[in-house]
Structures are given as structure tokens and as C-alpha cells.
């Protein structure tokens, strides 16, 4: 976690530097939460890059000093379907559940 002084330093530095420096500082801010990787590094070892993602690492992909994309692992999907009757007995469906709506309510939808 960054201190208040570090944030003020970054803001001050950004206000006095060029656009490229501003971009670099934004990358440094990203880097507090995720890794930064260049397009060239990905091309050099694509399989290694995929292994790191599979291990849970999150990346900001950069080209030069410009961030291009954020790459993160996809959340694992459920391996089994949910069982039938999972919420059985927790709520009741009224007998008239599929009855048509009253005319005055239908008119509100059509207005």
C-alpha cells in the first residue's frame, strides 16, 4: 500500500513531466497490483507467459510506454451442474404464478 507522501510525490512529478513520463507513472501505479510485460517479452516466451497467467498472475501489456491491455486468468467455471432441488423448501411458488397480469397493469407496460 502506498503512503500519502508517495502519492503526493507521484502527483507532483506528473504535473511537471512530459506525457511519456505521465504514462510511465501510470504504469508504476498499475505495477502495485499487477505485473507489467511488453509485447516483445510475450513474443519471446509466449508459453511462459501463458504459464504465468495460468498460475494466477495478472498483467498490463505495454508497447513502448503505452498500456495496451490487461490480461488476467479466466475464473474457473463450475465443474458440475448444480443439482435439482437445491433450494427446495426455501420458498413457495404460488399456484397462480403463470396467470395473466390484470388489465390495468398491462396498460402500464403498453403506455
Show the cell assigned to 55. Answer: 498460475
What contacts 26, CB < 8 A, 6 or more positions away?
Answer: 67
pLDDT at 7 over 50: yes
Extract the runs of DSSP E, i.e. beta strands, from 11-80. Answer: 35-38, 59-63, 66-71
The pLDDT tens digits of the residues spanning 25-65 come to 455 554 456 789 999 999 999 999 999 999 989 999 999 88
Cα angle: 5, vertex 10, 14; to 5 degrees = 150
Q: Which of 13, 56, 11 lies closest to 34, judged by CA?
A: 56
Note whether residue 59 is domain-resident.
yes
Note whether residue 17 is domain-resident.
yes
Write out the residue range of the structural domain in which residue 37 sits: 4-71
How many structural domains are present in the chain? 1
Note whether residue 39 is domain-resident.
yes
The confidence score (pLDDT) of residue 48 equals: 95
Show the cell assigned to 68. Answer: 495496451
Note whether residue 29 is domain-resident.
yes
The pLDDT tens digits of the residues spanning 54-107 come to 998 999 999 988 899 999 998 877 677 878 888 888 888 889 889 998 899 888
pTM of the model as a whole: 0.43
Q: Which of 33, 46, 41 lies closest to 62, judged by CA?
A: 41
Amino acid at each position: 500500500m502506498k503512503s500519502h507522501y508517495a502519492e503526493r510525490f507521484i502527483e507532483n512529478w506528473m504535473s511537471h513531466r512530459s506525457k511519456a513520463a505521465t504514462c510511465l507513472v501510470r504504469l508504476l501505479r498499475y505495477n502495485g497490483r499487477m505485473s507489467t510485460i511488453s509485447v516483445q517479452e510475450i513474443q519471446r516466451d509466449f508459453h511462459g507467459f501463458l504459464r504465468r497467467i495460468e498460475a494466477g498472475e495478472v498483467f498490463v501489456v505495454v508497447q513502448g510506454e503505452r498500456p495496451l491491455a490487461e490480461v488476467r486468468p479466466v475464473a474457473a467455471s463450475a465443474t458440475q451442474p448444480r443439482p435439482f432441488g437445491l433450494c427446495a423448501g426455501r420458498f413457495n411458488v404460488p399456484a397462480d404464478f403463470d396467470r395473466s397480469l390484470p388489465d390495468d397493469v398491462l396498460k402500464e407496460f403498453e403506455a
